[in-house]
Amino acid sequence: MSVHSKRTGSLVIILLVLSLPSALAQPGGTGEALFAANKFDLARTAFSAAVKASPKQPAPRFGLIRTLIRLDAWADALAESRNAATALPLNADAHGLYALSLLRGGQPEAAQKESDKALKLDPAAYWALIAGGRIALWENGKEEAGSLLHHAVEIHPDWPEGWYYFLETFGEHKRTEALKAFETYRKLAPKGFPHEMALEGVEGSLTFSKSFEKDPPMQSTGKLDEKALKSADDGKSPLIRTTFPIERDEANFIIIPIKIDGKRFRMLYDTGAGDGLSLGKGAADRLGLPLIAKSIARGVNGKETSKLYKAEILEVGDLRMHTIPLEGSDKSVGPVDGLFGGAIFKDFVVTIDFEHNEMTLTRGKKAVAPSPPAGFRTISIPFRLQHDYIMIPTSIADNNTWCMLDTGASGVSFMSLNLAKKIAAERGKATYQEATMEGRFGVGISNTKVNILVFFLSVPIGLMKDGRAAFHVEANPTIAASVMDTEVSRSFNFQLGALVGIDYLTSSKRISIDYPHHILTMEFQDSSAQ
């Protein structure tokens, strides 16, 4: 959603600088007017000139960083915010903006330190509050985030940044308050990144959301109803377990059998699909459901129109849920009927046995990954759950980064082109090849021209625990693609190093994704016991 550059921009700014030097010397000056008019490219030039003219003035620096964020020029925002924090070491907003830029750049640990500095300097500074709120969301502290971000929107109710993050703090039980906050945000009509992306297709999404007001989605029924699940969660009854068979295709993908309104479907189990349930071309038609609304779905290949439906019953193993939100696409999903988002099971410990091709769902107060059988060992790796997606610290060719665990991605990894170019520069020209290709890697149709980089030699990839790689897999071949940076990372407002795919996981005998405790456990045969 970047703003197009205007070729006359430089000339306009030169004339402004010559005719209005006093205006540019003031905090903000012409840059503020251009920013308010959503002319972000011109605002960038004006603010840059103002910073050069008055390097000790905070307003031009903050205006420049805010503009770079709207342009999603995150690397430049990171550099400028670092400069601002250095030039203004006692300014809380400088450190707050630096923290936000670090988070967009995929560096949450460094962002945490800057956020702490900002709030210590001034716990009532707007950008310090925004940074603190976003860090709290990263740590899954919605209550703390809500308090900080509520304070921020009180300070600047006409600025969209606070509202954008504040909306993430509302749970399902605060639907009315969330809709009210969203209407306030929408009326601001913010342009640029990430706001245009957040508001795209929103009318359809709102219509769809309102259709669930009287009957909340995905409520359990049958023998494992909400009452039985709550009793297990509270420790008043034994753990609940249900096991069912899975399929594995030639690409190692996990295919689970489900029923929707009594009809059978084969679905790709996809942790990269959040908590979504999406049927491909023709599959949704089998249900004969009325279309409720249309919206926008985003994926590796950009965006596409999605059709929104409501089904009555979803059955998986012994689970039976009613009032089911369902997306339909005009595109096929390979040989399967659709995508089953891994976070549909986010209240369970999900254990996948690759040897016996079974999936077990466990729920209850003391639910954890199963103990390994004799002769096996486990590695447990903490992760962050962000918007129902699994983010894990990862080492890729000795570069520490954050990756998304994606059982819907083939191979070991699908890498960021930015990171791949850094590794390629270290390895030398003879070790890789770059190309441009047309094609789809996943959801989306708006961006199918992709720049790729393929390494000739394997790339070691390891999920990290306590600052070191717990288990390495040699990825060969390793493919990097520009859409990882231009689509996937932009959608998350967080720079990812790669998608860690299914082949990384199937190098173990069994895995458990403990959603409640945010732990991935991988099980291996213990070579020392042989």
Q: How many residues comprise the chain?
A: 530
pLDDT in tens, 269-293: 999 999 999 998 888 889 999 998 8
pLDDT for the residue numbered 527 = 67
Judge whether 369 lies within some domain: no
- Region 37-46: mean pLDDT is 96
Last residue of a domain, one of 166, 186, 210: 210
Tell whether the model's pLDDT for residue 62 goes beyond 80. yes
Residue type, 148: L
Residues sharing a CB contact under 8 Å with residue 418, sequence separation 6 or more, in sequence order: 485, 495
Res 214: pLDDT: 85
| Section 217-238 average pLDDT | 95
Which pLDDT score is estimated for 529? 47
For residues 273 and 416, give the distance between their C-alpha atoms in angstroms, rounded to a whole number: 19
**In sequence order, what are the residues at sequence separation of 6 or more whose Cβ sits closer than 8 angstroms to the Cβ of residue 409?**
272, 442, 499, 500, 501, 502
Q: Are residues 106 and 247 in the same domain?
A: no
Say if 370 falls within a structural domain: no
User: Is a pLDDT exceeding 70 seen at residue 226?
Assistant: yes
Q: How far, in Å, CA of 421 to CA of 396, rounded? A: 12
In the chain, how many domains are there?
Answer: 3
Q: Give the model's confidence band at 441: pLDDT under 50 very low, under 70 low, under 90 confident, else very high.
A: low
In whole angstroms, what is the distance from residue 499 CA to residue 461 CA? 11
Across residues 396-416, what is the average pLDDT?
94
Can you tell me the mean pLDDT for 351-357?
A: 96
Query: pLDDT band at 294, cuts 50/70/90?
Result: confident
Domain boundary among 191, 210, 229: 210
Structure token digits, residue 341: 């988002």
Indicate whether 184 and 225 sit together in one domain.
no
pLDDT at 430: 92
4 domain-assigned: no
Residue 23 has pLDDT above 70, yes or no: no
Of 282, 320, 327, the C-alpha closest to 304 is 327
CB 227 within 8 A of CB 236: no
For residue 292, give the amino acid letter. Answer: I
Give domain status of residue 2, yes or no: no
At 530, is the pLDDT very low, low, confident or very high (cuts 50, 70, 90)?
A: very low
Q: Are 93 and 25 in contact (CB under 8 A)?
A: no
Q: What is the pLDDT of residue 24?
A: 30
Distance CA 72, CA 74 (A): 5
Higher pLDDT, 358 or 16: 358
Whether residues 81 and 166 fall in one domain: yes
Confidence check: pLDDT of 20 > 50: no
What is the average per-residue pLDDT within 441-454? Answer: 73
| 231 and 89 within one domain | no
**Could you tell me the CATH number of the domain that includes residue 24?**
1.25.40.10
Q: Are 516 and 423 in contact (CB under 8 A)?
A: no
Has residue 118 been placed in a domain?
A: yes
Note the pTM of the prediction, 2 decimals.
0.90
Cα distances (angstroms) measured from residue 19 to each of 13, 16, 23, 178, 258 = 10, 5, 9, 47, 69
Q: Are 40 and 139 in the same domain?
A: yes
Q: Which of 112, 44, 42 is nearest to 76 (CA)?
A: 44
Over residues 110-136, the pLDDT tens digits come to: 999 999 999 999 999 999 999 999 999
Better-scored residue on pLDDT, 210 or 443: 210
Q: What is the pLDDT of residue 196?
A: 92
pLDDT at 192: 97
CA distance 458 to 475: 5
Task: Give pLDDT tens digits for 172-189.
Answer: 778 788 889 999 999 999
For 369, phi then psi, to 5°, come to -65, 145
Could you tell me the residue range of the domain that residue 396 belongs to? 376-529
Query: Do the domain assignments include residue 216?
Result: no
- Phi first, then psi, for residue 212 (nearest 5°) are -105, 10
Dihedral sign of CA atoms 15, 17, 18, 20 in order: positive
Tell the residue number behind the tokens 């430089």, with chain if given.
10
- Residue of 149, 152, 82, 80 whose CA lies nearest to 111: 82
Q: What is the pLDDT of residue 332?
A: 77
> What's the CATH code of the domain at 409?
2.40.70.10
Following CA atoms 206, 210, 215, 220 in sequence, which dihedral angle do they give, to the nearest 10 degrees? 0
Helix (H) or strand (E) holding 393: strand 389-396
**Collapsing DSSP states into helix, strand and coil, what is residue 27?**
coil
CA distance 32 to 44: 10
Q: Are residues 62 and 186 in the same domain?
A: yes
Confidence of residue 439 (pLDDT cuts 50, 70, 90): low
475 — pLDDT class (breaks 50, 70, 90) = confident
Do 204 and 148 sit in the same domain of this protein?
Answer: yes
- Both 407 and 312 in one domain: the answer is no
pLDDT at 242 > cutoff 70: yes
Does residue 331 have a pLDDT over 90?
Answer: no
At residue 16, does pLDDT exceed 80? no
Element of type H or E holding 323 = strand 319-328
* Predicted local distance difference test score (pLDDT) of residue 296: 67
* Whether residue 89 is found in the same domain as residue 129: yes
Per-residue pLDDT, averaged over 379-397, amounts to 95
Mean pLDDT, to the nearest integer, of 64-86? 98
> Among 135, 62, 75, 142, which residue's Cα sits nearest to residue 419?
75
User: Any long-range contacts for 507-510 (C-beta under 8 Å, 24+ apart)?
Assistant: 507/471, 507/473, 508/354, 509/353, 509/354, 509/355, 509/376, 510/351, 510/352, 510/353, 510/354, 510/355, 510/370, 510/372
d(CA 396, CA 459) in angstroms, rounded, equals: 7
Alpha carbon of 337 to those of 203, 265, 334, 349, 443: distances in Å?
27, 6, 8, 25, 14
Q: Would you state the pLDDT for residue 79?
A: 98
pLDDT of residue 363: 97
- Encoding tokens for residue 271? 């942790």
State the average pLDDT over residues 158-165: 96
pLDDT grade for 417, boundaries at 50, 70 and 90: very high
pLDDT at 18: 30
Task: Round the average pLDDT of the chain to a whole number and report it.
Answer: 89
pLDDT(220) > 60: yes
Shared domain for 106 and 249, answered yes or no, is no
Residues 95 and 135 in one domain: yes
* pLDDT at residue 443, rounded to an integer: 64
Range in 66-70, 463-467, 514-518 the model is least confident about: 463-467
Q: Which of 329, 341, 321 is nearest to 513 (CA)?
A: 341
Side-chain half-sphere of 523: how many Cα atoms within 13 Å?
A: 18
Q: How confident is the model at residue 442 (pLDDT cuts 50, 70, 90)?
A: low
* pLDDT recorded at residue 46: 96
Per-residue confidence (pLDDT) for residue 504, from 0 to 100:
94
Q: CA distances (Å), 435 to each of 300, 352, 442, in order?
A: 18, 36, 19
Secondary structure of residue 385 in the 3-state scheme: strand
Residue 506 has pLDDT above 80, yes or no: yes
Same-domain check for residues 432 and 387: yes
Region 54-75 average pLDDT? 96
Peptide bond preceding 27: is omega within 30 degrees of 0, i.e. cis?
Answer: no
